[in-house]
Amino acid sequence: MIILEFFKKNKSCSHSKVRADVDFAYCPDCGELVENQWYLVRCACCGVKLRGMIKNGEIVPENHFCHNCGTRDYVIERINKINFIDISYAVLVKAIVHNNEYSYIQSWVDSRTSNYRPKLLKQSL
């Protein structure tokens, strides 16, 4: 298995060192801010919780049908906080938080109306 990891083309961080009991944390491997998102898979017909898994980047139920009513339809529900009852049914997704907020403060001086003259700093040798 370790040999196959060298041949992967997509070498992205899996954030395996980020604990599951925190909401947000920085990954010690890549330094990105990671948010732990919890999801439940429920039957669309009767609302029973189904065991979920991630398959090809999509959250799907482990079984292809509901064990209670037999339907194949399901609903994915995001939950804010995980409790110990839902832990065996929940799916954990570690998503990177992108912060695109940049703020700059600029100050302008009009040299024609102000008597402020910028001076050079003294250089000590």
What is residue 99's predicted lDDT score, i.e. its pLDDT? Answer: 76
What is residue 14's predicted lDDT score, i.e. its pLDDT? Answer: 86
Helix (H) or strand (E) holding 4, with range, is helix 2-6
Q: What is the pLDDT of residues 63-117, one digit of tens each?
A: 888 888 889 999 999 999 888 898 999 999 999 998 776 676 766 666 666 676 6
Tokens of 37: 């998102």
Query: Is-contact 54 93, C-beta < 8 A?
Result: yes
Q: What is the pLDDT of residues 24-66, one digit of tens each?
A: 999 998 888 999 999 999 999 998 999 999 998 899 999 888 8
pTM of the model: 0.67
